[in-house]
A and B are shown apart, each in its own frame.
Chain A
Amino acid sequence: MPSLMSRLSSAILCAGFALLIALAPSPSGAVLPDEMLADPAMEARARVISKDIRCLVCQNQSIDDSDADLARDLRILIRERLNEGDTNDQVQDYLVARYGEYVLLNPPMRAGTLLLWGAPAILVLLGSIAVFFWFRGLGRKTAAAGPTLSAEEEARLSSLISPRNGKDQS
């Protein structure tokens, strides 16, 4: 039950986690009006940063989406740092220094994640190479078989190519 489970991770996982540790009493709702910055440009920057920061206690939400208390504290922290003149990257680094790379929903490109980021290109490339050789193999087979078609094969071939073949041409 995929998405069901996943969304539960927000609420239930927290509940299950609470058996192990306690989470601070939580006011509900993600970003709240009283935490927002007066300057819309600054607030927009804060939103952009917090959308890429993982809420640690809910595990699969960004702090922008989460109503957990910790997420709220981190959102406020981000806004404080911005007010103090930090760049977006500096704010991110500040969080990473305290909570580790784990808080970044967008994994940074480095040696350990090269395979991850390269994967789509590698997969498409390998696939294209495979398809290319497969087609070439097909072509060679035709070339090899070309001059020595049996009568039966000739007939079948022509029936396949023939424009009268309504099914294939439709």
Chain B
Amino acid sequence: MIKADNALLLEEPLLRVPYEMLRKNLKTVHKHMTQESTMVEQTLSKLQQSTQHVAAEYGEKQQEEARESLDQLISRVRGLKRKIATLKDEQNETLTTTKARVEHLNVIFDNEKETDPEKQKETEKKWLRTRLERLLTDYFLRQGFSETAKSFAQNRGITSLVDVTILDQCISVETSLRQRHSTAECLAWCSENRSFLRKTRSSLEFEVRLQHYVELVKSGRVEDALKYCQRFLSKNADIHLREIQQAAGLLAFPPGTEGSPYKDLYACERWNQLSRKFVQTFADVHGLSDGSSLLYTLSTGLSVLKTHSCRNFGAPAELPITADKDEDMDPSLTSSARPYARRSENLPSVFGSGFSIRMYGSDEIRGLDTLPVIPPRALANLSSMRRDIAMQNNLDLEESIEDDNEESEERTSGDGERDSDGAVPVEELEELPDAPPELLSAEYLARRIEEATKENTDIIPKTTLDMFNHFYPGCCTSHQLSRADACPVCSVELNSLAENLPYAHHIRSHLDADPVVLPNSRIFGRAKLMEYSHKMMKAAPNTVVDPTSFECFKIDELITAYPS
């Protein structure tokens, strides 16, 4: 699915960072070597000159001098050798890293030539997983979770694919700016990279100095501030004259002023701007990407996967679901404020149904009585099924049936939208075709649903529901018919992140093959539906089950649809 050429486009930082390191390293080496070699050259030429003339005296004293200057040279060159040796090790390390990264990228290129599609898919999957791990490590580092990053990179064996040290350095300076409001680290970095900053005409250093000046003024040390300004700021007058004038003007305004440019200068927000600017400049120097790629890739990915059928439970966070229970008991409130009340406008979505809610709701949520879970018709079906079973077995289930009916009536009336939109009120339901006559299967299904609804929460752990303080019905829609469960946008973890992203663009329909319409207006792929029904109702070959509502229909009730 992934084109290697396309994937490569995303990987510039992966190769760029070690490249910049190589370059920087070499520059240092070059600098040292030129320095020392000129030194050597000068000294030697002096020595040669002093001895060149035949007449020149070359006695003990001169020899001693020559020896001394040679000794000096030797010790200097030894120092050079030491420096170069460390740099060489660094360089070799970077070269290994480069090699590992190029190999890592070549995996997908080689994979395109793979003839076995199964294998190809496997390799691709693995590569993408590794990529995610890289992005995660990058994310950890950028968030300042360096211990996590180190442990993660080590455990997953991707240390050569992530730039732990560099990012660590970046973040430590960034936090010193943002949190400790200290300029020293950043200025040290600036002087290290002065040549680059000058080449790109970066104003970073000036901005940092200016901030330092502002802080001096803020703390009332006007004289120091003036000295500082003279020493560091005024020499930038050719480019930053305006800022310098403003800085001078600042002296006339006390901190807490409302005058607009000065208020901004005093603002703490400037530290955040500075730290952002620093990260950007740092990224430029080292060839890093300037934002977290994880964030970018994740947003894009979610956007691409987002469809109009995806759940959106971002809203319930604001709803009083975990708030006061008593308030929530108000049926009008709960039914309309419930997350899938929105969904219930178009009732039979693949999600907003099924008994899963009851099963996975923790006690808290049960306490809120958050259901009309099973659509009225299914309930009606269910009760009639039970009645049949009861008659068959001479069991007295009347009570429970009545309970059920009452319950369902309550539910339906509590949920007005549902009624108005296609779902048939319970009273009418009784006249509709009843459950399939095959008692065994009906009993089987009934038992399943009953068990499900009765299922206690004790053995089920408190779920992620607590974790996200949201209410997620149908997290686990109990059928494998649709892949909607596996949708990342609908997942508990990522749903709220996807909330504001744009939808994917589709110009073709993606539907199951051979779609059929059930009497309740839901459409499923015939083959899949049959397979599911077969699994659920083994003994009743002529019955189909709606996997979302558990309604049963006869097979000849299906209508073939022609969507396109």
Asked whether A and B interact, the reply is no
